[in-house]
Structure formats: structure tokens, C-alpha cells
A and B are shown apart, each in its own frame.
Chain A
């Protein structure tokens, strides 16, 4: 065995989980375990308490209500991948989750776990950024905080949760009408975190003009970026290859960092190339979405 000793807790309800979190300062919340378990195995973390959420059924679930997709934090990535609700309401999320890890890790890995771990290039974070997701944080005693994804990062691999808070659900406001999505990433090996991943959403008016655009670029900082200049360049225009090329050129001006593996200029190069591809993808698969209530 590799992790340092800890006390294990398996609450059955969200309330019990929150109380355990409030009562035990030095605790880690265990969701799917696909990032936390390696960190425990390496002893990068050695918490005194581990609070396992895998026996709290109320934390998982997928539903659409009033034009918002609600997903419980403990919903497995594999369930997002096969859900017909997600396919119809938020195909971008499904395109992104297909690129997360492997079948075995998606069987256990969760949406909330990925958002909380907050790897800079995590596909689900990039998709959530494009979709303007809202993260619901709860704490013992009934406290609830709604955190917009743009305010979710408190630094590299660090989310904005305060002590005693737990992510319980994620809301994705849905776009209406004719729209398309794109998700393209470049990773060294299938299933790795991307070096750069780009998520796009385009909505079109009756005349086929771009009415709304979202472009999220992951892998260039602690949180994916939404370059406003790129989105502005698209709105009011008709989709075309030259338009996407120009928008992608603007994407290459985003801030990027160098690390031991990848230089900043290569990241910017990838941001340009992948943005162009993800926009073309979005323009090529336009569908009409009227989101009523569904199960």
C-alpha cells in the first residue's frame, strides 16, 4: 500500500458529507479518485481524513430544466458520455468528455472531480468555460454559493472552494436555436491531458449570421481563457473559412506559459490551429435546439 494512513468516511447523504467536512479540517473529498488516488499514492497529499462521496446517490444525476442542464457533481464521466439528455442538450460536453482519459477512468471519474482538480488542460473545464457554467458549492448549515466558472480558479490546480465547502452540482445554461459546437485538442498520447484544447459554440440567426460565439482555450494558464477579441470578430459575420482563419489569428495572441515540455510560442501556435479547426467543426454541425424540460 502506498498512501499514508488516514481515517476513511463513507457518508450516505450530502448533509453528512458536509458535516464531516466541517468537523475535520485536514480532510480530502474523494470523488472518482482518478486524480486524488495517484496523489495519495505518491504522498503528494497525506490528509488525516478521506471523505468518500461514492455512496451519496443524491450527488449524481443529469436533468434539463428551464433551459439549464443540471449535473450532479458525482455524475460519472462515462454517464455523461452515454446520456441521451446530454447528447441532445449539450453535445459540446459530450464531445469533450469523450477525450477525457480512458474507458476505465471515465467509468469512475466524475464531472465534479475533474472541475475541482482543475488541471489547466482538463477537457471538462474547457467545455464548462465555453458554456459559462455555474458551480454550486454547499457547506454545512445550509450555506450555498453559486460560483461562475470564470471565478473558479484560485491559482494553478486550485479551485475557489473555501474550507468546509463542497462542489455539489454544476449548471450549464443552454443556448436556444440553431447552433453548432466544436471540440478539438492536441495531446501527445490518446487519453492524456491536452497540451491545448479548444471548445467552441456558435449560434446563428435566421439569416445564418453568427449571433453568439464562445471560444474557450484550455492549457494556457490555470483556467481556460475566453479571448473576447476572437468572439467579437465572429459575431455578426457569416461563417466562412477566411473568417475562422482571422479569428484564429487573434487566438494566437493569448497569454501562454512555457514549461519543461512545451514552449509558450508552441502553445500559441496550437491555440491558433485548433481554434480554426474547432470553429469549422462548429459551423459544420449546426442543429436546432429548443430545450424544454426533459428527464
Chain B
């Protein structure tokens, strides 16, 4: 027998109400029920970080959360950042610094970094080591990470002091 619950949450600011089976992960809910396929699934057991989304402002692995657990939460995914025509500053920096190649890890990287950037408002610019520490939970098979670190450094340490 299916165990079904109705969940109400916001996803990228929009109210969503859906009946969902309890065993469905938040990642599958976003991808299959809401057709928001920007959240990627790599390992589905918490190792790769490709599925990272923000739940009430905090990064979480969407493969390790049930959709029912997001009832009442504000969820943000990569679709809630910029648009292809109008990338946000982090996305633009990722593009300019070649912070992605195949792009599979990129949505997770962007969401992890979005939390980091939002949390450190007004703090002094981070060191490379800090950025690498933040990125430790996101695996990239293509870039070798340096270009991603460069992109974050560019966003948080703008050369002309403008942010």
C-alpha cells in the first residue's frame, strides 16, 4: 500500500502543493514531479553533491532528504538562480573562468556556493583554502576544481572593490 502525504512548500519562491509517496526523495520530487531537472543525481547516496539544493537557506543533499520532509520549507534549486539570458554574478563568473566542462556537477556547485556567498555577506574576502573547504562536498570529474575556485575568488574578491 502506498503511503501518500500531501506536501506544501515553496520552490524558488513559488508555492507548490502535491501528493507524494513517503519514500520519494526530495531530488526525485523536484526532477520527476516538478520537472525541475536542473538538480542532478549522481550517486544517490550522499557522496557526490550533484543534488545539492537549499532548504530554508541551508545546503542539503536532496538525495538524502525525503520530499515529505520538505513540507513547509522554502526550497531553492539552480532554476532559481539566473536565467540563460541573464546569468547571476556567480554563474557568469563560472562561465568566464571555465568553471564547468560537462556541467554535471555545476548545479550542485552553484547551490553550495550560493549558501556560502549569502552566509558570508560583509565578512572579509575568503581565502582559497576556505573555498576549497566549502567545495569539499561536491565532486567534479572534469575541471580539476581550480577554475571553480577562480570563479568564486572573482565573485568575492572583485578587483575594483565593487561587489
Which residues of A pack against B, CB within 8 Å?
A: 1-8, 10, 33-34, 37-38, 40-42, 50, 52, 54, 78, 101-105, 107-108, 190-191
**Counting CB contacts under 8 A, is B16 at the interface?**
no
Residues of A within 8 A of B115 (CB): 103
Q: Is the CB of A105 within 8 A of B46?
A: yes
Residues of A within 8 A of B23 (CB): 1-6, 8, 40
Q: Is the CB of B65 within 8 A of A37?
A: yes
Of the candidates A4, A38, A103, the one having the most CB atoms from chain B within 10 angstroms of its own CB is: A103
| 8 interchain pairs, CB-CB under 8 A | A6-B22, A8-B5, A10-B68, A34-B64, A104-B49, A105-B46, A105-B61, A191-B136
Q: How far is the CA of A37 from the CA of B24 in the complex (A)?
A: 11
Which residues of B pack against A, CB within 8 Å?
A: 1-3, 5, 21-25, 28, 44-46, 49, 52, 58-61, 63-66, 68-69, 112, 115-116, 133-134, 136-138
Chain A residue, CB-CB nearest to B72: A55
Q: Is the CB of A1 within 8 A of B46?
A: no
Chain B residue, CB-CB nearest to A54: B69
Q: Is the CB of B3 within 8 A of A6?
A: yes
Q: How far is the CA of A172 from the CA of B143 in the complex (A)?
A: 44
Residues of B within 8 A of A52 (CB): 66, 68-69
Residues of A within 8 A of B64 (CB): 33-34, 37-38, 105, 108
Q: How far is the CA of A42 from the CA of B44 in the complex (A)?
A: 9
Cross-chain contact of B59 among A1, A5, A38, A103 (Cβ < 8 A): A103
When A34-B46, A191-B136, A191-B137 are in contact, do A8 and B66 touch as well, CB less than 8 Å? yes
Q: Is the CB of B28 within 8 A of A102?
A: no
Would you give the shortest CB distance from B74 to chain A, in whole angstroms? 14
Cross-chain contact of A107 among B25, B58, B69 (Cβ < 8 A): B58
Residues of B within 8 A of A42 (CB): 45
When A101-B137, A103-B112 are in contact, do A1 and B21 touch as well, CB less than 8 Å? yes
Residues of A within 8 A of B138 (CB): 102
Q: How far is the CA of A7 from the CA of B28 in the complex (A)?
A: 18
Q: How far is the CA of A2 from the CA of B65 in the complex (A)?
A: 12
When A8-B68, A103-B112, A107-B60 are in contact, do A50 and B22 touch as well, CB less than 8 Å? yes
Q: Is the CB of A104 within 8 A of B112?
A: yes
Residues of A within 8 A of B24 (CB): 1
When A37-B65, A50-B22 are in contact, do A103 and B46 touch as well, CB less than 8 Å? no
Would you give the shortest CB distance from A151 to chain B, in whole angstroms? 30
Q: Is the CB of B28 within 8 A of A103?
A: no
Residues of A within 8 A of B63 (CB): 37, 41
Residues of A within 8 A of B65 (CB): 33, 37, 108
Residues of A within 8 A of B21 (CB): 1, 5
Of the candidates A1, A2, A38, A52, the one having the most CB atoms from chain B within 10 angstroms of its own CB is: A1
Chain B residue, CB-CB nearest to A191: B136
Residues of A within 8 A of B136 (CB): 102-103, 190-191
Q: Is the CB of B44 within 8 A of A2?
A: yes
Chain B residue, CB-CB nearest to A102: B137
When A54-B69, A103-B137 are in contact, do A7 and B49 touch as well, CB less than 8 Å? no
Would you give the shortest CB distance from B45 to chain A, in whole angstroms? 4
Would you give the shortest CB distance from B37 to chain A, in whole angstroms? 16
Q: How far is the CA of A6 from the CA of B63 in the complex (A)?
A: 17
Q: Is the CB of B46 within 8 A of A38?
A: yes
Q: How far is the CA of A191 from the CA of B135 in the complex (A)?
A: 11
Chain A residue, CB-CB nearest to B115: A103
Q: Is the CB of A104 within 8 A of B52?
A: yes
Would you give the shortest CB distance from B140 to chain A, in whole angstroms? 13
Chain A residue, CB-CB nearest to B56: A107
Residues of A within 8 A of B66 (CB): 8, 33, 37, 52
